[in-house]
């Protein structure tokens, strides 16, 4: 029984990890879903909640493309900050700028993101830490 618990504990802890892979070296975008922590070329970013998603559906003609606003936690070494981040405006973080550059899924008219189509976000950080 002890052997089973000894082997099961590390597996259980691994399953609880929510860190995503670092930025894709091809496009420099770090991607994460809600409540997943990702390294973005300096800070770690965790998308906490979608505050607004007014993007124009893929198959529609729109006057305005819309935007997505997120609540994110930014971890900077020993401190954390909560910011509102949107697709139309980067946020000053430490000595750089954090941008929300990608939102998935692309939705058709009348669709919403949810369990069948979970949100994924792409971030870029310009600057140095």
Which tens digit of pLDDT belongs to each residue from 43-102?
999 999 999 988 877 677 777 778 899 999 999 988 999 999 999 999 999 889 999 999
Position 9 in a domain: no
Could you tell me the CA-to-CA distances from 35 to 58, 59, 69, 111, 125 in Å, in that order?
26, 29, 15, 22, 19
Which CATH number does the domain housing residue 98 bear? Answer: 2.60.98
Quick check: is 8 in a domain? no
How many other C-beta atoms can be found within 10 angstroms of the C-beta atom of residue 19? Answer: 12
Burial (Cβ within 10 Å: 0-12, 13-18, ≥19) of residue 101 = middle
Q: Rounded to the nearest 5°, which phi and psi values hold at 9?
A: -60, -50
In a domain, 76, yes or no: yes
Please, what's the b/e burial string for 72-94 (b: 16 or more CB within 10 A of its CB; e: otherwise)?
Answer: bbbeeeeeeeeeebebeebbebb
Give me the number of domains the chain comprises.
1
Distance, CA of 47 to chain centre: 5
Q: What confidence tier does 108 reach under pLDDT thresholds 50, 70, 90?
A: low
The CA-based angle 69-82-80, given to 5 degrees, is 145
Residue 66 forms part of a structural domain: yes
Domain residues for 55?
Answer: 19-127
In a domain, 104, yes or no: yes
Parallel/antiparallel/unpaired status of strands 44-53 and 68-76: antiparallel
Express each pLDDT in 7-51 by its tens digit. Answer: 444 444 434 445 555 656 667 899 999 999 999 998 999 999 999
pTM for the predicted model, two decimal places:
0.74
Q: Does some domain include residue 80?
A: yes
């Amino acid at each position: 029984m002890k052997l089973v618990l000894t082997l099961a504990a590390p597996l259980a802890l691994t399953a609880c990890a929510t860190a995503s892979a670092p930025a894709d070296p091809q496009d420099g975008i770090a991607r994460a879903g809600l409540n997943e922590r990702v390294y973005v070329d300096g800070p770690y970013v965790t998308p906490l909640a979608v505050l607004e998603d007014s993007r124009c559906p893929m198959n529609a003609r729109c006057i305005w493309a819309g935007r997505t606003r997120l609540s994110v936690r930014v971890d900077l070494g020993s401190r954390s900050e909560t910011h509102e981040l949107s697709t139309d405006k980067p946020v000053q973080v430490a000595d750089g700028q954090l941008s929300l550059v990608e939102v998935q899924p692309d939705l058709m008219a009348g669709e919403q993101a949810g369990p069948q189509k979970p949100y994924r976000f792409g971030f870029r950080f310009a600057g140095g830490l």
